[in-house]
Amino acid sequence: MIRVTWLGVVLVVATSLVHAAPNSSQRVRAFARLPDWTGLWETAISKELTTPGGRSSTPGTLKLVGHPPYNPEWELKYQAALDNPAVKAAVTETLKGCGRDAPAYVKSFPNIMDAPMVFQVVVTPEETLFVMDHGEVRHIYTDHRAHPAGDDLWPTPLGDSVGHWAGQTLVIDTVARTPGPISMFSPAAELSDQAHFTERVRLIDANTLEDQLTIEDPMRLAHPWTVILRFTRVLDLTRFIPYECEADRNPIENGKLTIAPP
């Protein structure tokens, strides 16, 4: 009886908050309880590439390029893909992170959280948004809604995300992500459309945001796979600048990436 009562209170509060006026005292109090993640953030590989030479100096910066804990069936397929010359060529000769000829999965989750990106986080009581400089926007609904049911839920590159706050930590639940590669730098590592992602995002110091990402895939993984992504506050930009992909003028011709003059 007590559980039902408390559930009713939570639902009433959530419903009233959704319909509360933007400047209502109730919504102001809800904002006051949220962490301050304002400003710009960049992924680990983005920070490493912003050097005079444009090259990473830290091996292993990319976390999703590691060896997924596949079940025996998919481990064989993964190893076969690694030994496939066409797969290797996709990385060494045809890889594009944006623009024309770039593979669709470069704009998918979780790749966008581990690729060279700068992003902004918008935190409100009803939802949190991750706005990426390449144009992708992740909507994390925190108004107690559930994932769509039945035919209303279908795979998309970013999946469907709902979340809740556990103190100052945002817990994100993502499902219905389009099957396929999870990292632009490791096209052989794929997940099925049954993959389930759980994130715990928190501020670990004034300039570091941490994302503990756990991936479960009953079709392909032998056990859950957890990686830690860390994002650094950008201090040398004064505003959010959408990324204009210069690779648009570098087409892939005859199976190889060409470099066109500016």
- Per-residue confidence (pLDDT) for residue 3, from 0 to 100: 39
What mean pLDDT value characterizes the chain? 85
Lowest mean pLDDT among 43-47, 149-153, 156-160, 172-176: 43-47
Across-strand partners of 138?
A: 130
Lowest mean pLDDT among 9-18, 147-156, 159-168: 9-18
| 97-119 per-residue burial string, b: 16 or more CB within 10 A, e: under 16 | bbbeebbebbbbbbbbbbbbbbb
Is the pLDDT confidence value at 187 over 90? no
Alpha helical stretches, state H, the chain: 2-18, 25-32, 44-49, 72-82, 85-92
- Would you say 191 and 177 are in contact if contact means Cβ atoms under 8 Å apart? yes
195, containing H or E segment: none
Residue 123 banded pLDDT, cuts 50, 70, 90: very high
pTM of the model: 0.84
- Per-residue confidence (pLDDT) for residue 18, from 0 to 100: 53
| Domains present along the chain, CATH in parentheses | 36-50+61-234 (2.40.128.20)
Query: Which of 226, 182, 230 has the alpha carbon at shortest distance from 74?
Result: 182
Query: Which of 126, 136, 144, 105 has the alpha carbon at shortest distance from 43?
Result: 136
